[in-house]
């Protein structure tokens, strides 16, 4: 397995996270990155630092004003006064009769959707290079058939102009643009994180050149709550090119792989030239934020099913949080693809 990573991912290290009325440590932290790094390194036949491919693929996905906010927001926040460690809002735009304000704090609420996505001094470089990890993996995967991008921070909750759910730039969507450009045809994104890939769905909602499919916990009582239902199938040119598989809490290896087989069969009917896997380890039975029961053996079986469809495959890391099995679960998934 060829693994792409970048040390600048360590620059983003938020302190706190507000969840279900409780303030605690942020789960998308450096310890988590270290555990993913360990699991990826154990599975890697080649461990490569991502190159900087510039903004072109990022700009195909994200609004330029939003990119500029992520790039400059922390520096602008320093003008508001000393001692600030994070730029974070508690006042968020509903997108209904809303407009971009001039003030920085107003923009923080306009360009983010919750309190999980602060900007810190080195956040932009981590965010930017996380996307470059995805691009590097996509360009390699297009040529050689398989690659894994250890993207951190993750990306699938990021909309074209809004951060959410620990995500800033949508690494999978950006990787899909790079893969599509290199392969010269349509591609698919398969999201198997426990949370619905709401940002990814929205980005490609009216497009037919990127098929989007997501397996996730039923959002009627689980984040992101407002999207991920089975009747969401796309709109306009994208009608029929989005498919959701909301699954009940407690979904185990057998149920998850059964639905994955169905999702892969659907993807094959769309005749993509390649596939991006938005891979979340928060489906694991031990994950502190999850409520599924996928095991190490289940991850290996998932990898074999994905490999069986014989498409150029790019794996982009999404969720998966600190637990005793995090490194081993990632290793099981990556080694499940075997050699070659």
pLDDT in tens, 242-293: 999 999 999 999 999 999 999 999 999 999 999 999 999 999 999 999 999 9
Task: Give the pLDDT confidence of 88-110 residue by residue, as tens digits.
Answer: 887 787 766 578 888 888 898 88
Please state which of the ranges 90-94, 158-162, 196-200, 312-316 shows the lowest mean pLDDT: 90-94
Mean pLDDT of 120-138: 97
Domain that holds residue 295: 2-335
CA 95 from chain centre, in angstroms, equals 22
Residue 340 falls inside a structural domain: no
Residue 256, domain member (yes or no): yes
From 37, 157, 195, 216, active-site residue: 157
CATH of the domain at 248: 3.40.800.20
pLDDT at 96: 65
The whole-number average pLDDT for the span 191-204 is 98
What pLDDT was estimated at residue 97? Answer: 59
In the chain, the number of structural domains is 1
Give a yes or no: residue 309 inside a domain.
yes
Mean pLDDT, the chain, whole residue set: 95
pLDDT digits (tens, 9 = 90+) for 320-338: 999 999 999 999 999 999 8
Higher-pLDDT residue of 262 and 24 is 262
Average pLDDT over residues 80-86: 81
Based on the residue annotation, tell me whether 157 is a catalytic residue of this protein.
Answer: yes
Q: pLDDT at residue 71 above 90?
A: yes
Task: Examine residue 151 and state whether it is found in any structural domain, yes or no.
Answer: yes
340 pLDDT above the threshold of 50: no
Whole-angstrom distance, CA of residue 197 vs CA of residue 109: 21
pLDDT at residue 16 tops 50: yes
Query: In the predicted model, is pLDDT for residue 82 greater than 80?
Result: no
Residue 14 lies in a domain: yes
């Amino acid at each position: 397995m060829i693994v792409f990573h970048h040390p600048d991912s360590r620059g983003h290290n938020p302190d706190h996270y507000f969840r279900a009325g409780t303030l605690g440590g942020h789960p998308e932290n450096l310890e988590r990155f270290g555990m993913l790094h360990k699991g990826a390194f154990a599975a890697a036949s080649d461990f490569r630092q991502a190159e900087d491919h510039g903004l072109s693929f990022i700009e195909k996905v994200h609004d330029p004003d939003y990119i500029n906010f992520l790039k400059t927001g922390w520096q602008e926040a320093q003008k508001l006064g000393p001692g600030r460690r994070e730029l974070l809002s508690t006042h968020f735009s509903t997108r209904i009769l809303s407009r971009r304000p001039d003030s920085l704090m107003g923009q923080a609420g306009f360009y983010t959707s919750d309190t999980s996505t602060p900007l810190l001094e080195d956040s932009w470089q981590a965010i930017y290079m996380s996307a470059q990890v995805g691009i590097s993996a996509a360009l390699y995967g297009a040529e050689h058939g398989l690659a894994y991008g250890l993207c951190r921070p993750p990306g699938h909750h990021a909309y074209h102009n809004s951060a959410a759910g620990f995500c800033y730039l949508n690494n999978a969507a950006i990787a899909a643009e790079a893969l599509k450009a290199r392969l010269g045809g349509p591609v698919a994104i398969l999201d198997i994180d426990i949370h619905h890939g709401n940002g990814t769905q929205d980005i490609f909602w009216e497009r037919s050149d990127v098929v989007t499919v997501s397996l996730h916990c039923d959002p009627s009582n689980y984040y992101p709550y407002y999207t991920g239902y089975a009747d969401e199938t796309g709109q306009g040119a994208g009608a029929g090119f989005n498919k959701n598989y909301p699954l009940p809490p407690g979904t185990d290896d057998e149920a998850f792989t059964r639905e994955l087989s169905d999702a892969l069969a659907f993807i094959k009917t769309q005749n993509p030239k390649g596939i991006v896997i938005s891979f979340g380890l928060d489906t694991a039975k031990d994950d502190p934020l999850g409520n599924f029961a996928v095991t190490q053996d289940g991850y290996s079986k998932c990898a074999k099913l994905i490999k069986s469809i014989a498409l150029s495959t790019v794996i982009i890391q999404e969720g998966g949080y600190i637990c005793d099995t995090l490194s081993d679960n990632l290793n099981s998934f990556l080694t499940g693809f075997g050699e070659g």
